[in-house]
Amino acid sequence: MNCNNLPTIDHTIIAARGNMTLLSQEEVQSMMEVGNSPVHALFRKCCLAVLNCDAKEDDAMAVLERYPDFDVRLLPRERGIHLEFFNAPAQAFVDGKMIEGIRDSIFSVLRDIVFQNTELARPSHYDVNTSSGITNFVFEILRRGEVHQFGKEPNLVVCWGGHSIPRHEYQYTKNVGYQLGLRGMDTCTGCGTGAMKGPMKGASVGHAKQRIHDGRYIGITEPGIIAAEAPNPIVNKLVIMPDIEKRLEAFVRLGHGIIVFPGGVGTAEEILYLLGILLHPDNRHMKYPFIMTGPAESADYFAQINDFIEFALGKEATGLYQIIIDDPEKVAKEMVKGINEVKEYRSKNQISYYFDWALKIDEGFQKPFIPTHENMAALNLHRDQPIEDLARDLRRVFSGIVAGNVKEFGRREIAEKGVFKISGDPALMQKLDKLLRTFVEQGRMKLPGSVYTPVFEVVT
């Protein structure tokens, strides 16, 4: 038990898994130096989020407060690294042994947080101040996460949606995942609960019926949001990107098509990110299937999203996606059809199946946006600019609200300086305010049962 009377495992040691077993002594020594650096605090937080994966908690600071005595240390061994845990959440263990899927995810955290900071982030490796350098960095993190499958036919469907959704929407995501799994599609999500777990769960049943034993259930997250979207148990490939922008780039370059389920501000951020990229002149000829879908009860939700996009970005933007309501089988068939077109296009243009190098992503979508009050106030939210640029700054609005809702940095900003002020074109602000108010009314900002306190004010 810890000081909050929550059941814990006092002490345990686990041995390295995967590519963390093949380390040189120099690499081990570099990683050991992290134990006394700021990276250790981040590593501890991410490990705790993974171990706490079944809890209904979306507040990183609250999770740390619930387990103040939790700690993890690196133990050097001749064959890789071992990890020593103190006062770990008991729900991650069965009969005193860590659950295998959680154990795999823990070493993904070690690889992406500690190893990444000691090896990949060295200046001599990648220049993350350039667009090409950022893309190469994203590719290398994914390669180390072993998610690429060279020579495999395109079949990876990225699924976006809220981690806090009602039961009927969750069941619908499972039904869509099942139809995808029956057709041999693999899934990639933000790795959390809700619309990120449902498609994987459904796909796993579809794969089982088709005797597919090597299905991929890829989860891509980032440190600032991992407590809100801790990896669900179905994820068999977990990758933690350094920030939300690299996470989003990983999704769109790795996947062959994207399905969006109902969600909140995080889902709206993802939609605007993808639209901003597809609207770039260099990408308008590319094949990229994009479907928004939900049960019949969610029809109004997508009508509101579509109305906002049409007003802000125009008919060209709404022409980039389909909206399919209450028809999982049609969603799967349309996605398979679109992915076949992706295969034909990439084969003809000699673009790799496993990573879309040809997709043009401007630096404005790649470089991290820090949601300070000054940066939020400085966003250009006027319609007298290229639509891809407006999509970029609208994406940043939703990213800032996500940070204020659940991320440690954003919550501190709000606590110290008050709500974010969002201003711009008056008519656009009215539309934005209406959309955000709808999210609040529908309970899409926080987990069910909690009272939402707005972290923003739209100046209309």
In which region does residue 95 sit, left (phi positive, over 0), alpha (psi from -120 to 50) or beta (all else)?
A: left
- In this prediction, residue 1 carries a pLDDT of 59
* pLDDT band of 31, cuts 50, 70, 90: confident
CATH code for the structural domain at 149-348? 3.40.50.450
What whole-number percentage of the chain has pLDDT above 70?
A: 92
* SS3 state at 206: helix
Q: Are strands 237-240 and 257-260 parallel, antiparallel or unpaired?
A: unpaired
Residue 460: CB atoms within 10 A of its CB come to 15
Continuous segment of H or E residues that includes residue 142: helix 131-144
Q: What is the pLDDT of residue 114?
A: 80
- Note the pLDDT of residue 29: 73
More confident residue, 23 or 222: 222
Task: Kindly report, residue by residue over 95-154, the tens digit of the pLDDT.
Answer: 999 999 899 999 888 888 887 777 655 666 678 889 999 999 999 999 989 898 888 899
Per-residue pLDDT at 200:
98
Rounded to whole angstroms, the Cα distance separating 204 from 156 reads 14
**What average pLDDT does range 211-240 have in this prediction?**
89
Q: Above 60 in pLDDT, residue 3?
A: no
pTM summary value: 0.91
pLDDT at 121: 56
Query: Between residues 80 and 217, which one has the greater pLDDT?
Result: 217
Instruction: Report the alpha-carbon distance of residue 75 to residue 86 in Å, rounded.
Output: 13
Q: Are 120 and 141 in contact (CB under 8 A)?
A: yes
Beta-sheet pairing, 217-221 with 237-240? parallel
Question: For residue 113, what pLDDT is reported?
Answer: 85
What average pLDDT does range 304-308 have in this prediction?
A: 96
Q: Where exactly does CATH 3.30.1850.10 map onto the chain?
A: 8-125
**DSSP output for 77-131:** -SSSEEEEEEEEEGGGEETTEE-HHHHHHHHHHIIIIIIIIIIITSTTT--TTSH
pLDDT value for 45: 87
* Residue 45 dihedral angles phi and psi, to the nearest 5°: -65, -45
Domain 8-125 has CATH 3.30.1850.10: yes
* Residue range 63-87: mean pLDDT, rounded: 84
Residue 120 has a pLDDT of 58
The mean per-residue pLDDT over the stretch 364-393 comes to: 95
Q: What are the residue ranges of CATH 3.40.50.450 in the chain?
A: 149-348
Task: Please check whether residue 59 is in contact with residue 139, taking contact to mean a CB–CB distance below 8 angstroms.
Answer: no
Q: Which of 77-81, 189-193, 343-347 has the highest mean pLDDT?
A: 343-347
User: What's the mean per-residue pLDDT of the chain?
Assistant: 90
